[in-house]
C-alpha cells in the first residue's frame, strides 16, 4: 500500500509503526489501536501540563489510568510484616491523593528522599481506592524541583526534561505497559520521518482554509510552546480529515454524474397507477413529495443515488414500492436487498399483501399490468430458490426481494433498473457494489434507513447521496407511550408490568418482550437472556399464555417460523433479541417490555418500540432497568421516554455518544485514520471543507493533483465498509 501513495506526507503516515519504533514497541501500541505512523501522530495528548500547573484531583475517577501533576504534602514510612512501604499524600492545593510504594528498605528510603515535601511531580498509574480514598499504588513518577528542572537521571526523567523545555508537556492517553513519556518518545521519532515532506494540499487550499502547514501542525500538537499552537495544529488536522472525506465524496458525485443509467420514464395507466388506485389510504404530503423526487431521478440517464430516511412508521416501504413499480412499468426490474432473512421475508409478505393480484404475474385472472414478486434467501430449498432466480433472469419477476443470497455470482437479471437497499450500513463495500456492477449502465439506487440521521452526519458519511426525509406518520396509527421502570428501587412496578402485559393479551392483542442477549451471563444471573427469560415468564407471571422465542442463533427457517406464528396470531407473546428491531409489522402488537433497557442505545430503543402501535390500538412500551437514577444510562432512557420524535432522539444520541463509531472507526476491526473530526462540534468546518472540495474537484476532475488522489485512497482504505461505498 505504501508504494501506492503519490505524496510524501501520505506515504510517511502510512508506514508501519514498527519501521520507526521497532517491532517490540509497536506491539505495545496495538492496545491503543495504533498501527501506523499516521495513527500515532493522530494520537493527541489528552491534556497539556504547564510548568506551574497542578492537576485538578477532583476530576479523577476510580479505574482510569491517569497522569497527574501535584505537589507532595507529606510522606511516611510504614514497616509491614513482610516489607516496608512508603505512604505519600500529594495535593493540588484543594484535594489530595494517596500514593503507596512497596519495596526493600533502601528503595523505600530512596523514594522518600525523592518525594520531598513541597516538590512538584508527575505521577502516572491506575486510580484505585483504599478505605474510601482514591490512591495510586506504585505509580511511575518524575519529580520537578523548584526551578522546574528534573530530579534524578533515569531515562524517563531525561525524556521529560527534554519535553519540558518548551514549557508544555503533553499527557497522552496511555496504558500500564505504555506510559505517556514512552508515547512521547515514539512521537518524537515519528515526527522525524516528516522532515522535508511536502504538504499534500495545494497552497490555495491551505490559504482558503486558513490552516498551518502539515508538519507544523504535528509539531504544534505534540511539542507545543503555547496553547495557541495546540489549537492551530488541531484545527489543521481536523480540517485534513474533513477535506479528505469531502474530496472523496465530491469525486463520487462527479463520477456518478458521468455514469449512465437507463432512464425509466413514468407510464400512465400502468402498474403504478393501478396500485395507487387500490391503496386503502391517502399518501401523506411527505410521501408524495419524496415520490416526486424519486420518479424525477428515475427519469434521468444519470444513476439515482438517493438516501430515504424516515421516522419509524413513516411509510418508507410504500414509497420504495412505488419506485419499484415505476421501474417495472418502464420495462426494468427492481431488487429490494435486506440484511436479514426475517426482514427480507417481512418485506416480501408486506409487498405481496399490498399488491394483491397485481403481484400475481402471469397467473390466471391477474390484471394485464401485474408482475411477479419473488423471494430469494440463503435458507430456501434449492428448487424454490432456483425457480425464483429463473424468473429473475427471464424478466417475469419484476420485483425480487432477498438477502445476501442475491449477491452471488450466479444471480442474473433481464434488465436490472433499480436497487433498493434497506439498512445499507449492514452491508459491506463489495456487497453493495455487486448488484449491477458488470452492467454497461448502472442501476438506480435507493437507500433506506429507519434511523434518522443528523445533517452533520449525513453530510459527512452520506455526502455522495441526495437525501430525502419523511417526518410525517400516516394516519390511523394510535402511537406509543413509553414508561421507565426502576427494577432495583420499584420491584412492585416490575410485577405490575407483567400484569399489564397480560391485560393487553387478554384483550386480544399481542406483545413483544425484548432482551439484549441470548444467554444469561454467569456473572449477572438477573440479566436473563431470551431463552431463560421465556422460561421464567412461562412458569411465572405469563403462565398459560402462548409464548414464542426468536433470536439470532436460531436457524433461518426456525426464525421465520417463529415470526410467522406471531404474525398469524398463534403466538401471543414473542420473546426476542434485536432481530425484530426493523421491518417487523404486526398491527395487532400493542405492547413491548424491554428488559435491561440500559444495554440498548437511544436509536435502537426507538426502532424497537416502533414495532408496536402500528394499528388502531395504542402502544405501551415499558423500559425495565437497574441503572442508577441520574447516570448516563438513566438519562438515555429518560430521553427515549420523553419523546417519540426520532430526529430529536438522533441528535441526543449523537451528542451523548459523541462520534462513537459513526465514522466507522470501531466497526472494521482495523485502524481508522478518522480520529479527530467531530460531527457534533465541527459541522461548520465540514461545510467549509465541502465547499472547498467541490471547487477542488471541479478544477481537477481527473485527480491529477497527487494530494487529492491520495485523499481518496486514504479515506477508502481506512473508512469502514459499513459506511463508505466504493463502486
Question: Using one digit for the tens of pLDDT, what is the confidence trace for 473-518?
Answer: 776 666 799 999 999 899 999 999 999 999 999 999 999 999 999 9
Q: Give the Cα separation of 145 and 459 in Å (integer).
A: 51
Q: Give the Cα separation of 458 and 436 in Å (integer).
A: 25
Q: Is the pTM of this model over 0.75?
A: no
Question: How confident is the model at residue 714, as a pLDDT?
Answer: 84
Shortest CA distance to 464 belongs to which of 318, 249, 683?
A: 249
Highest mean pLDDT out of 283-287, 313-317, 421-425: 283-287
Shortest CA distance to 182 belongs to which of 260, 67, 88?
A: 67
Average pLDDT over residues 171-177: 82
Question: How confident is the model at residue 364, as a pLDDT?
Answer: 53
Residue 522, C-beta contacts closer than 8 angstroms, at least 6 positions apart: none
Q: How far is CA 185 from the centre of its chain?
A: 33
Domains and CATH numbers, the chain: 1-46+172-198 (no CATH), 52-154 (2.40.50.140), 271-470 (3.40.50.300), 480-643 (3.40.50.300)
pLDDT in tens, 513-552: 999 999 999 989 989 999 999 999 999 999 999 999 999 8
Collapsed DSSP state (helix, strand, coil) of residue 703:
coil
pLDDT in tens, 709-719: 999 988 877 65
Nearest-10 crossing angle of helices 227-258, 706-718: 90
Higher pLDDT, 455 or 273: 273
Higher pLDDT, 284 or 460: 284
Question: How confident is the model at residue 168, as a pLDDT?
Answer: 74
The pLDDT of residue 351 is above 70: yes
Question: How confident is the model at residue 460, as a pLDDT?
Answer: 65
The three three-digit cell numbers of residue 61, written as one number: 475517577
The pLDDT of residue 407 is above 90: no
Question: How confident is the model at residue 221, as a pLDDT?
Answer: 95
Collapsed DSSP state (helix, strand, coil) of residue 353:
helix
Q: Give the Cα separation of 264 and 257 in Å (integer).
A: 16
pLDDT in tens, 61-76: 888 777 788 899 999 9
Tell me, letter by letter, the H, E, C secondary structure of 181-223. Answer: HHHHHHHHHHHHCCCCCCCCCCHHHHHHHCCCCHHHHHHHHHC
Question: How confident is the model at residue 517, as a pLDDT?
Answer: 94
Shortest CA distance to 642 belongs to which of 609, 618, 615, 617?
A: 609
Higher pLDDT, 155 or 612: 612
Q: Give the Cα separation of 257 and 31 in Å (integer).
A: 43
Question: How confident is the model at residue 727, as a pLDDT?
Answer: 33
Amino acid at each position: 500500500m505504501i508504494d501506492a501513495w503519490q505524496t510524501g506526507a501520505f506515504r510517511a503516515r502510512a508506514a508501519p509503526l514498527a519501521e520507526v519504533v521497532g517491532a517490540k514497541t509497536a506491539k505495545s501500541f496495538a492496545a491503543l489501536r495504533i498501527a501506523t505512523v499516521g495513527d500515532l501522530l493522530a494520537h493527541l495528548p489528552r491534556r497539556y501540563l504547564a510548568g506551574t500547573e497542578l492537576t485538578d484531583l477532583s476530576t479523577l475517577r476510580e479505574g482510569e489510568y491517569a497522569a497527574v501533576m501535584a505537589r507532595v504534602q507529606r510522606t511516611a514510612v510504614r514497616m509491614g510484616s513482610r516489607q516496608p512501604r512508603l505512604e505519600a499524600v500529594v495535593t493540588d492545593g484543594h484535594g489530595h491523593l494517596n500514593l503507596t510504594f512497596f519495596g526493600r528498605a533502601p528503595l523505600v528510603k530512596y523514594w522518600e528522599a525523592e518525594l520531598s515535601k513541597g516538590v512538584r511531580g508527575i505521577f502516572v498509574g491506575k486510580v484505585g481506592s483504599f478505605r474510601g480514598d482514591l490512591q495510586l499504588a506504585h505509580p511511575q513518577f518524575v519529580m520537578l524541583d523548584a526551578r522546574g528542572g528534573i530530579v534524578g537521571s533515569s531515562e524517563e526523567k531525561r525524556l521529560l526534561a527534554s519535553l519540558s523545555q518548551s514549557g508544555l508537556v503533553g499527557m497522552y492517553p496511555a496504558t500500564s505497559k505504555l506510559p505517556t513519556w514512552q508515547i512521547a518518545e515514539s512521537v518524537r521519532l515519528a515526527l522525524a520521518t516528516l522532515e522535508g515532506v511536502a504538504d499534500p494540499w495545494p497552497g490555495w487550499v491551505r490559504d482558503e482554509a486558513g490552516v498551518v502547514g502539515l508538519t507544523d501542525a504535528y509539531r504544534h500538537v505534540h511539542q507545543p510552546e503555547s496553547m495557541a499552537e495546540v489549537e492551530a495544529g488541531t484545527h489543521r488536522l481536523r480540517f485534513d480529515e474533513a477535506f479528505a472525506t469531502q474530496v472523496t465524496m465530491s469525486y463520487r458525485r462527479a463520477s456518478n454524474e458521468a455514469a449512465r443509467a437507463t432512464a425509466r420514464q413514468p407510464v400512465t395507466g400502468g402498474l403504478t397507477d393501478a396500485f395507487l388506485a387500490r391503496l386503502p389510504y391517502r399518501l401523506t404530503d411527505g410521501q408524495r413529495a419524496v415520490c416526486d423526487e424519486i420518479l424525477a431521478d428515475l427519469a434521468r440517464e444519470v444513476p439515482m443515488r438517493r438516501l430515504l430516511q424516515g421516522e419509524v412508521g413513516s411509510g418508507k416501504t410504500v414509497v420504495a414500492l412505488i419506485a419499484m413499480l415505476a421501474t417495472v412499468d418502464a420495462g426494468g426490474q427492481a431488487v429490494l436487498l435486506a440484511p436479514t432473512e426475517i426482514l427480507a421475508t417481512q418485506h416480501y409478505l408486506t409487498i405481496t399483501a399490498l399488491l394483491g393480484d397485481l403481484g400475481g404475474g402471469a397467473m390466471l385472472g391477474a390484471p394485464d399490468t401485474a408482475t411477479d414478486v419473488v423471494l430469494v434467501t440463503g435458507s430456501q430449498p434449492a428448487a424454490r430458490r432456483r425457480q425464483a432466480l429463473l424468473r429473475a433472469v427471464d424478466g417475469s419477476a419484476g420485483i425480487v426481494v432477498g438477502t445476501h443470497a442475491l449477491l452471488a455470482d450466479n444471480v442474473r437479471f433481464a434488465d436490472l433498473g433499480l436497487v433498493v437497499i434497506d439498512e445499507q450500513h449492514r452491508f459491506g463495500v463489495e456487497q453493495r457494489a455487486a448488484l449491477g456492477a458488470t452492467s454497461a449502465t448502472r442501476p438506480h439506487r435507493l437507500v433506506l434507513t429507519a434511523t434518522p440521521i443528523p445533517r452533520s452526519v449525513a453530510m459527512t458519511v452520506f455526502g455522495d447521496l441526495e437525501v430525502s426525509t419523511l417526518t410525517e406518520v400516516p394516519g390511523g396509527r394510535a402511537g406509543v407511550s413509553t414508561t421507565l421502570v426502576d427494577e432495583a428501587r420499584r420491584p412492585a412496578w416490575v410485577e405490575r408490568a407483567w400484569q399489564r402485559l397480560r391485560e393487553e393479551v387478554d384483550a386480544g392483542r399481542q406483545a413483544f418482550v425484548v432482551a439484549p442477549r441470548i444467554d444469561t451471563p454467569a456473572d449477572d444471573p438477573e440479566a436473563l437472556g431470551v431463552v431463560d427469560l421465556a422460561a421464567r415468564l412461562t412458569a411465572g407471571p405469563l403462565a398459560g399464555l402462548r409464548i414464542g422465542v426468536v433470536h439470532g442463533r436460531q436457524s433461518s427457517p426456525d426464525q421465520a417460523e417463529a415470526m410467522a406464528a406471531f404474525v398469524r396470531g398463534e403466538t401471543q407473546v414473542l420473546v426476542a433479541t434485536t432481530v425484530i428491531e426493523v421491518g417487523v409489522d404486526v398491527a395487532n402488537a400493542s405492547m413491548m417490555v424491554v428488559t435491561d433497557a440500559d444495554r440498548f442505545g437511544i436509536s435502537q430503543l426507538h426502532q424497537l418500540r416502533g414495532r408496536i402501535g402500528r394499528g388502531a390500538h395504542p402502544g405501551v412500551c415499558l423500559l425495565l432497568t437497574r441503572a442508577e437514577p441520574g447516570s448516563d444510562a438513566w438519562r438515555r432512557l429518560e430521553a427515549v421516554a420523553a419523546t417519540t420524535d426520532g430526529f430529536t432522539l438522533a441528535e441526543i444520541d449523537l451528542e451523548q455518544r459523541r462520534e462513537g463509531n459513526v465514522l466507522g472507526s470501531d466497526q472494521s476491526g482495523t485502524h481508522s485514520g478518522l480520529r479527530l473530526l467531530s460531527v457534533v462540534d465541527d459541522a461548520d468546518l465540514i461545510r467549509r471543507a465541502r465547499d472547498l472540495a467541490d471547487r477542488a474537484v471541479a478544477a481537477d476532475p481527473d485527480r491529477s493533483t497527487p494530494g487529492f488522489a491520495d485523499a481518496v485512497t486514504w479515506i477508502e482504505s481506512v473508512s469502514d465498509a459499513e459506511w463508505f461505498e466504493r463502486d
